[in-house]
């Protein structure tokens, strides 16, 4: 059973542990916010579970720069180009999005690219920053190669996510946050641990052939792009993953394809992850009230449309995550025993007090 813990305390704990590793408090607070918000939304795969192995140990071992000098490479009324100086991905992406929101308030639209960054967690968190400003937010990032292109057999593309957030009125906002692979690699690992076969189309073996055997996917094989094999549209998922890399990697000047190194400790250089962020000020395009009303109508028409036999609910992108967040804000964030032990160990090593 996972213990349920208070989100604010968890957020502070993440920040304290990063500060203990040499990260400035302002940056550490942003990482704490992003990882805890991700846990609140139920995306544990990208939350505090990743703190030690994706971020903290990397900082301690000198693989991530704890005190980067983020450089503005270029800037205009509707664009921004940042070099993250190999710092943590969350603070630089968060601040890039903040600046996009400020600029879009003036110019209607702003896009930011970030190069020389690191894994920034869940893309949706940055897209959602737009919501309270009556804006739409978009966030893309490239990532370590895990996905096989259509007709290939090597992991060349990341799971390169696409996130878009749009505010509604009385309904919940629309928040799409999806990897461009069919499933994340962690899902395959879960099946392996259970000794089960995965559904057809999730992954391929070392020959590039679809397989349901998680061992063959994880060892020498890889994930299939959204759509699965070519016949069922996998070339579209492959195209989307590539599109995200063109925006996040090529346009930013970061690494591309399997030049993006994994957020692990055995890597041979900087991960050089690239991000692409965008803010669209709704009021430049339509009166905000009208937009919100139309979004409400959009959500309701989807939700109220007839259900498939055997189904009683049509979900809107982000809806499940909002419901999870409501529950977890009230009842605490579940901390699974492995993550709890990991965090307790970090507290022990650094002298940070265990807050729960």
Q: Scan residues 142-161 and list those touching its own copies (CB under 8 A).
A: 148-154, 156
- Residue 140 as a binder of its own copies (CB under 8 A): the answer is no
Contact of 339 with 47, CB cutoff 8 Å: no
8-16, 40-48, 230-238, 261-269 -> range binding its own copies (CB under 8 A): 230-238
Return the residue of 1, 309, 330, 353 that touches its own copies, per CB under 8 A.
Answer: 309
Q: Using CB under 8 A, which residues numbered 192 to 211 contact its own copies?
A: 199-202, 204, 207-209
- Residue 252 as a binder of its own copies (CB under 8 A): the answer is yes
Sign of CA dihedral 333, 337, 339, 340: positive
83-91, 229-237, 260-268, 342-350 -> range binding its own copies (CB under 8 A): 229-237
Which is it for strands 109-117 and 79-83: parallel, antiparallel or unpaired? parallel
Q: Which is nearer to its own copies, 51 or 240 (CB)?
A: 240
Q: Which helix (H) or strand (E) holds 145?
A: none
Contact of 175 with 318, CB cutoff 8 Å: yes
Can you tell me the distance from the alpha carbon of 121 to that of 202, in angstroms, rounded to the nearest whole number? 22
- Residue 190 as a binder of its own copies (CB under 8 A): the answer is no
DSSP class of residue 295? Answer: H
15-23, 116-124, 308-316, 330-338 -> range binding its own copies (CB under 8 A): 308-316
Q: Which is nearer to its own copies, 63 or 168 (CB)?
A: 168
The site string for its own copies over 266-295 (x = CB under 8 A, - otherwise) reads: --------------x-x-xxx---xx--xx
Q: Using CB under 8 A, which residues numbered 310 to 329 contact its own copies?
A: 311, 313-317
* Least distance from its own copies to the Cβ atom of residue 280, Å: 7
Q: Which helix (H) or strand (E) holds 105?
A: helix 89-107
- Residue 162 as a binder of its own copies (CB under 8 A): the answer is yes
Helix (H, G, I), strand (E, B) or coil at 339: helix
- Residue 188 as a binder of its own copies (CB under 8 A): the answer is no
How many residues sit close enough to its own copies to count as binding (CB under 8 A)?
85
333 burial level (CB within 10 Å; 0-12, 13-18, 19+)? buried
Structure tokens at 94: 């968060």
**Nearest residue to 116 via CA among 271, 235, 347:** 271
Q: Using CB under 8 A, which residues numbered 69 to 108 contact its own copies?
A: 74, 76-79, 81, 107-108
**Nearest residue to 79 via CA among 42, 123, 109:** 109
Q: Using CB under 8 A, which residues numbered 43 to 72 contact its own copies?
A: none
């Amino acid at each position: 059973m996972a213990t349920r813990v208070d989100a604010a305390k968890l957020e502070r704990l993440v920040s304290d542990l990063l500060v203990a590793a040499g990260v400035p408090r302002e940056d550490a607070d942003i990482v704490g916010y992003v990882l805890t918000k991700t846990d609140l939304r139920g995306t544990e795969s990208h939350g505090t579970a990743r703190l030690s192995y994706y971020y903290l140990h990397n900082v301690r071992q000198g693989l991530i720069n704890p005190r980067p000098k983020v450089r503005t490479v270029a800037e205009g009324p509707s664009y921004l180009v940042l070099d993250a100086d190999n710092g943590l991905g969350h603070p630089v992406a968060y601040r890039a999005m903040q600046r996009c929101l400020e600029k879009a308030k003036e110019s209607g639209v702003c896009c930011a690219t970030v190069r020389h960054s690191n894994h920034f967690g869940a893309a949706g968190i940055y897209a959602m920053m737009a919501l309270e400003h009556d804006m739409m937010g978009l966030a893309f990032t490239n990532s370590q190669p895990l996905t096989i292109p259509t007709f290939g057999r090597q992991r060349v593309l990341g799971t390169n996510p696409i996130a878009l957030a749009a505010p509604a009125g009385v309904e919940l906002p629309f928040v799409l946050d999806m990897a461009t692979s069919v499933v994340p690699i962690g899902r395959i690992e879960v099946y392996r641990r259970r000794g089960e076969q995965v559904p057809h189309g999730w992954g391929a073996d070392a020959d590039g052939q679809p397989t349901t055997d998680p061992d063959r996917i994880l060892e020498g094989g890889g994930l299939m792009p959204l759509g699965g094999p070519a016949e069922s549209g996998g070339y579209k998922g492959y195209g989307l993953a590539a599109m995200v890399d063109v925006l996040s990697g090529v346009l930013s000047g970061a690494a591309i394809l399997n030049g993006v190194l994994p957020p692990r400790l055995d890597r041979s250089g900087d991960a050089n992850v690239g991000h692409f962020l965008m803010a669209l000020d709704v009021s430049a395009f339509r009166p905000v009230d009208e937009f919100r009303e139309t979004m409400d109508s959009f959500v309701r028409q989807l939700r109220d449309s007839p259900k498939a036999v055997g189904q009683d609910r049509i979900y809107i992108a982000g809806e499940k995550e909002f419901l999870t967040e409501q529950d977890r804000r009230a009842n605490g964030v579940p901390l699974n025993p492995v993550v709890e032990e990991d965090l307790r160990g970090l507290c022990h090593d650094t002298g940070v007090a265990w807050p729960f």
